[in-house]
């Protein structure tokens, strides 16, 4: 699993020492002494992980995290600091850092952290591009009996065999990919592949290469021809998730594919012909993006032949019991355990929650609850703290005391493993340490 690492530190001796240690683990290491040199290296080759000092001659690592994640969202970054600084650590995690560690004190944590970060980077890259050879999904797998869900399913069933391009609208986590797979499975293209890519997961140049492919010699390191995802989807369906994040130059190339069924690979001089159906999805207001000049109006109308709006979970909370039972059955099968029941009070709390992450957030909450449950029933105390605090039964408790009790319970469950505890709580490791210090949890 070892991957590529960019190490940024202005202390040359430390940089060389860390580079040697990391290289012995099988990682490929590039080095930079400044942020300017780091950006130049990133432009040449996107690493899997960046290991960066907080204090650099031309900037600070905490701010760099935010800039890096905006441009290279799939890259994981770990910050190194000579002095433990909790506010900096908290801000770094908020900006998207994988972790924040102190030089010297945490040296034994660097290599294990790199493996964890590499695993996460690999998982994210795999999930950003998916190729399913045949449509194996049905509309029966879309769970919910609410009028809003039924209406969306009926529209999707009607358009599926027609072959027109489809635009799926809705917040993150509302099930757009599930709908795209079902539409493809019920289309006349179902015997061919559906190829999915998350446009927000790649920097502009990388996204172009992923979509259109390249010829050998197109750029440094391109030793052989590579088919792009559009070509791999020939005869089938191309699902472009988060289409609103696509660079406007690439939008013009995509428009050519829709209008003429052709494109030119990077480094090629001749066109490649394709026949693909496009299903696009976005959580953005594309009409606003058009007004802002960040999305092409002509592309919008070519994609929006038929649009389906998927409701946020808070607008069809009556479907939560059915969704909850579905996820509990899934996780029981995955772990080879009996299916857990869920108490009516826990269901009530789930239905009161705002669900900013929608169905995806509900799935994650129930996975954690499955781990937390001591018996055969998920109770309110097995739910995350921010959902528990909605309970009228806890109104006599202070916010801090409930949070402290919950952290202690999770720590006991993990046997004191703070990394696992932070994951189950859904917070960064630095945040966990800060809260343990605040509540004097030993």
pLDDT along the chain (442 residues), means of 10: 87 89 90 93 85 91 88 87 70 83 71 87 76 73 94 96 95 94 94 92 82 82 82 95 94 95 89 96 96 96 96 96 94 87 94 93 91 88 82 52 80 84 81 82 80
For 142, residues 6+ apart whose C-beta sits below 8 A from its C-beta are 149, 153, 175, 178, 179, 182
pLDDT, tens digit, 9 for 90 and up, residues 358-394? 999 999 999 888 888 888 999 998 888 788 876 544 4
Task: Identify the burial level of 218 via C-beta atoms within 10 angstroms of its C-beta, where 0-12 means exposed, 13-18 middle and 19 or more buried.
Answer: middle
Sequence-distant (≥ 6) Cβ neighbours of residue 5 within 8 angstroms: 22, 27, 28, 29, 30, 47, 48, 49, 50, 51, 114
* pLDDT on residue 5: 93
**Phi-psi group of 202: left, alpha or beta (phi > 0 → left; psi -120 to 50 → alpha; rest → beta):** beta
Torsion of CA 29, 31, 35, 41, to 10 degrees: -70
Q: What are phi and psi of 283, to 5 degrees?
A: -105, 5
Question: To the nearest 5 percent, what fractions of the chain are helix, strand and coil?
Answer: 50, 15, 30
Q: E strands, 48-163, where?
A: 49-53, 55-56, 59-60, 76-81, 99-102, 129-132
pLDDT for 150? 96
Burial of 152 (0-12, 13-18, 19+ CB in 10 A): buried
Q: Is 345 helix (H, G, I), strand (E, B) or coil?
A: helix
Rounded Cα distance between 291 and 305, Å, is 20
Q: What is the per-residue pLDDT for 395?
A: 43
Residue pair 97/79 in contact (Cβ under 8 Å)? The answer is yes
Q: What is the pLDDT of residue 180?
A: 96
pTM of the entire structure?
A: 0.71
pLDDT digits (tens, 9 = 90+) for 106-161: 566 788 888 888 888 877 776 777 777 665 678 988 999 999 999 999 999 999 99
Residue 104: both structure tokens together: 């010297």
Selection from 265, 275, 108 nearest residue 188 by Cα: 275
pLDDT value, residue 107: 60
């Amino acid at each position: 699993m070892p991957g590529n690492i960019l190490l940024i530190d202005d202390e040359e001796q430390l940089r060389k020492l860390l580079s040697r240690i990391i290289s012995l683990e099988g990682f490929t290491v590039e080095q930079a002494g400044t942020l300017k040199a780091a950006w130049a290296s990133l432009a040449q080759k996107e690493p899997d992980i960046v290991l960066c000092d907080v204090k650099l001659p031309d900037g600070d690592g905490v701010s760099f995290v935010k800039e890096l994640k905006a441009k290279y969202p799939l890259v994981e970054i770990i910050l190194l600091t000579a002095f433990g600084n909790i506010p900096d650590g908290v801000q770094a995690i908020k900006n998207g850092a994988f972790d924040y560690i102190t030089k010297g004190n945490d040296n034994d944590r660097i290599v294990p952290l790199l493996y964890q970060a590499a695993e996460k980077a690999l998982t994210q890259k795999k999930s950003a591009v998916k190729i399913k050879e045949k449509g194996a999904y049905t509309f029966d797998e879309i769970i919910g009996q609410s009028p809003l869900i039924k209406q969306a399913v009926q529209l999707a069933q009607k358009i599926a065999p027609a072959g027109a391009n489809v635009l799926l609208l809705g917040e993150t986590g509302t099930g757009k990919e599930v709908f795209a797979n079902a539409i493809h499975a019920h289309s006349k293209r179902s015997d061919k592949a559906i190829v999915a890519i998350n446009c927000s997961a790649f920097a502009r140049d990388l996204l172009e290469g992923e979509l259109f492919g390249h010829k050998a010699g197109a750029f440094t390191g391109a030793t052989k021809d590579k088919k792009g995802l559009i070509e791999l989807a020939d005869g089938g369906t191309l699902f472009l998730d988060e289409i609103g994040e696509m660079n406007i130059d690439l939008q013009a190339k995509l428009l050519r594919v829709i209008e003429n069924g052709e494109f030119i690979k990077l480094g090629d001089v001749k066109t490649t012909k394709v026949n693909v159906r496009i299903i696009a999805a976005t959580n953005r207001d594309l009409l606003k993006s058009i007004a802002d000049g960040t999305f092409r109006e002509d592309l919008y109308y070519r994609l929006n032949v038929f649009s389906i709006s998927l409701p946020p979970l808070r607008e069809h909370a009556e479907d939560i019991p059915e969704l909850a039972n579905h996820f509990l059955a899934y996780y029981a099968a995955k772990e080879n355990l009996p299916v857990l029941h869920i108490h009516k009070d826990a269901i009530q709390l789930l239905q009161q929650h705002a669900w900013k992450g929608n169905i995806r957030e509900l799935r994650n909450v129930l996975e954690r609850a499955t781990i937390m449950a001591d018996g055969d029933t998920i109770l309110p105390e097995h739910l995350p703290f921010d959902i528990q605090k909605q309970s009228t039964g806890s109104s006599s408790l202070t916010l801090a005391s409930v949070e402290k009790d919950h952290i202690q319970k999770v720590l006991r469950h993990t046997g004191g493993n703070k990394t696992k505890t932070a994951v189950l709580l859904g917070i960064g490791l630095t945040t966990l340490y800060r809260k343990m210090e605040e509540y004097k949890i030993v």
